[in-house]
Amino acid sequence: MSQDKKNLPAKRVGSGFLDKVRSSKAISAAPKQEMLKRAIAYQERPRLLFAMDATASREACWNIAKEITGAMFEAVPGELDVALTYHSGGRLQEMTPFSSEARAFLDKVQTVRCSAGRTALNEILDKADQAPKLKALIYIGDCFEEDAQEAVEIAQQLKLKGVRCFIFHDSSSQAQGYDTKAALTTFEQIARITGGAILPFDESSPDLVRELLAAIALYAAQGIKALKQQTKLLPAARLLLDQMKQS
């Protein structure tokens, strides 16, 4: 009898259990795929780096500058990640992590104070060069007191990575004796090399500056095509495109 039992065909023990396992795997695969898609989408989110010159020469117009830049953070599209950096006291002071919560920077902007010292734009350019997925760098400054050739070399690296530099030139400190004209040559080189633009930072026309900042944020989030499509609804988009062609 025992021999007969040994010769019997093996029973498909647990076949129902295996079917359940296969079913559960199929079910669990879907959420994992969705998680992967979300992770990839997050990794592909475009980035914008917003940078400010907070040296002593800009102190006279600092309050209006903070108001204007704060408005820009309020207008940043939801699909764009933003980071804030600034230099003062002769060095780069801080660079925040990139975040999708652009409005969170409103309070941060208000805490920045001007401090005497040489400019440190090259340090900011270098940080931009190291940031993955960066689409645009916005910089607001008046003077440049560093190695211009180094700035050009980093700008060339940024071009290879597809990062455009948009520089708002604040010439208001010229009335206080600061040499803002000398900086313009280097600023123009950076903008031309990267395909960005030189734009006026006019505290007497804050609405225009805000609109230009919003147009740059739109470009960073959705590209040139989206910028062209919004020229009727956003007049600053046309101005930005024109300046980008001239650079």
**Residue 6: its pLDDT value, please?**
45
Q: What is the residue-averaged pLDDT of the chain?
A: 83
Among 194, 146, 143, which residue's Cα sits nearest to residue 172? Answer: 143
Give the strand pairing for 164-169 and 134-141.
parallel
Question: Which stretches within 11-147 are classed as H helix?
Answer: 15-43, 62-75, 105-111, 121-130
- pTM equals 0.80
**Under CATH, which architecture does the 45-246 domain have?**
3-Layer(aba) Sandwich (3.40)
Distances (CA, A) of 187 to 95, 153, 167: 21, 13, 7
**Residue 140: its pLDDT value, please?**
94
Residue 119, pLDDT above cutoff 50: yes
Residue 30, pLDDT above cutoff 70: no
pLDDT tens digits, 141-157: 999 999 999 999 999 99
**Residue 239: its pLDDT value, please?**
92
All structural domains of the chain with their residue ranges: 45-246
pLDDT tens digits, 175-228: 888 999 999 999 999 999 999 999 988 777 788 888 998 899 999 999 999 999
Q: How confident is the model at residue 19 (pLDDT cuts 50, 70, 90)?
A: low
Amino acid at 148: A
Give the strand pairing for 81-88 and 91-95.
antiparallel
Pair of tokens at residue 2: 């025992």
